[in-house]
């Protein structure tokens, strides 16, 4: 049992679970585009998320952003280096336009953890900015990159989808913000610090409703998409209102981050079995 728990903790701590979550969002985009998933792009997204998240979580605490002293963190670091090699391999297989988009999103991700100037703050520590940077980068990786990969037009539906994904990630971040409020520096001015927990929950519910309603602004709307977005919204609202569960060890890092995975499974299940 201890061995199983150790593997599960590593699965979460090494950002494998969050990588599957981001991968699932990209998979949903391919489904909505009516296109086959590009395994090279999905492989790149999966491994690059592992590298990016582990660097943000552990690299900022390391000496020169590289040297870690904790043995457990060294294992995660080695795993991250291996993931970096795989990410590069898959990136090489992709078209140049994706390289350019990835470079821009990568710069934002790097500045999130590393300050541009030696005495400056990184984007993560700028008051109130953290959640919007994360949401924008996630939307870029899971909407923009698949659209570029399939050579779909950057039309009205694309921008609606991008905004929806941005809002979805904001809502998914809120449980983390509430859980971490007791440890976060007051200067971060996170949503729960500024609005209070009850108002932050209400904001999350409002953003979830907006996320759903934006679907009807698209030029092309399919019934299946509406139904699955409704199921997703019910799950999000339930999570936002489950205040006590937010403080348990695995609820937020596993179950909340699993929501996009379940969402993708709805599309995959209907496509393959119905």
**Mind listing the pLDDT tens digit for each residue in 4-51?**
999 999 999 999 999 999 999 999 999 999 988 999 999 999 999 999
In the chain, pLDDT over 90 holds for what percent of residues? 62
| Segments forming the whole domain that contains residue 148 | 2-273
Q: What domain count does the chain have?
A: 1
Q: Which candidate, 123, 55, 63, 113, places its Cα nearest to that of 84?
A: 55
Residues 6+ apart with CB under 8 A from 173: 131, 134, 135
Two tokens at 8? Answer: 């599960």
Q: What is the distance between the alpha carbons of residues 200 and 176, in angstroms, rounded to a whole number?
A: 12
What is the overall mean pLDDT for the chain? 88
**Mind listing the pLDDT tens digit for each residue in 154-170?**
999 999 999 999 999 99
**Mind listing the pLDDT tens digit for each residue in 59-81?**
655 444 466 667 888 889 899 99
Cβ contact 12:125 at 8 Å? no
Full DSSP string of 214-257: GGGGSSS--HHHHHHHHHHHHHHHHHHH-TGGGGSTTIIIIIIH
**Mind listing the pLDDT tens digit for each residue in 192-224?**
888 998 999 999 999 999 999 999 999 998 899
Model pTM score: 0.91
Q: Which candidate, 16, 25, 3, places its Cα nearest to that of 52?
A: 16
Q: What is the distance between the alpha carbons of residues 181 and 273, in angstroms, rounded to a whole number?
A: 43
Residue 170's Cβ-side half-sphere holds a number of Cα atoms within 13 Å equal to 25
Q: What is the pLDDT of residue 190?
A: 83
């Amino acid at each position: 049992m201890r061995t199983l728990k150790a593997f599960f903790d590593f699965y979460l701590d090494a950002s494998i679970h969050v990588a599957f979550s981001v991968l699932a969002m990209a998979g949903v985009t391919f489904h909505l585009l009516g296109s086959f998933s590009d395994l090279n792009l999905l492989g790149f997204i999966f491994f690059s998320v592992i590298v990016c998240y582990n660097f943000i979580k552990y690299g900022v605490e390391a000496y020169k952003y590289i040297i870690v002293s904790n043995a457990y963190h060294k294992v995660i670091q080695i795993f991250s280096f291996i993931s970096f090699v795989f990410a590069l391999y898959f990136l090489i297989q992709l078209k140049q336009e994706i390289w350019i988009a990835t470079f821009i999103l990568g710069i934002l991700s790097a500045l999130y953890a590393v300050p541009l100037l030696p005495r400056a703050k990184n984007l993560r520590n700028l008051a109130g900015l953290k959640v919007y940077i994360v949401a924008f980068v996630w939307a870029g990786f899971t909407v923009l990159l698949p659209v570029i990969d399939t050579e779909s037009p950057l039309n009205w539906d694309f921008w609606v989808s991008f905004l929806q994904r941005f809002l979805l990630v904001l809502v998914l971040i809120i449980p983390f913000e509430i859980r971490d409020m007791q440890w976060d520096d007051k200067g971060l001015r996170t949503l729960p610090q500024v609005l209070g927990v009850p108002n932050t929950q209400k904001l999350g519910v409002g953003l979830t409703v907006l996320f759903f309603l934006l679907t009807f602004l698209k030029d092309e709307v399919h019934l299946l998409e509406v139904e699955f977005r409704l199921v997703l919204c019910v799950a999000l609202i339930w999570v936002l209102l489950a205040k006590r569960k937010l403080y348990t060890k695995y609820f937020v890092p596993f179950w909340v981050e699993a929501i996009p995975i379940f969402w993708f499974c709805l599309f995959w299940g209907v496509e393959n079995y119905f």
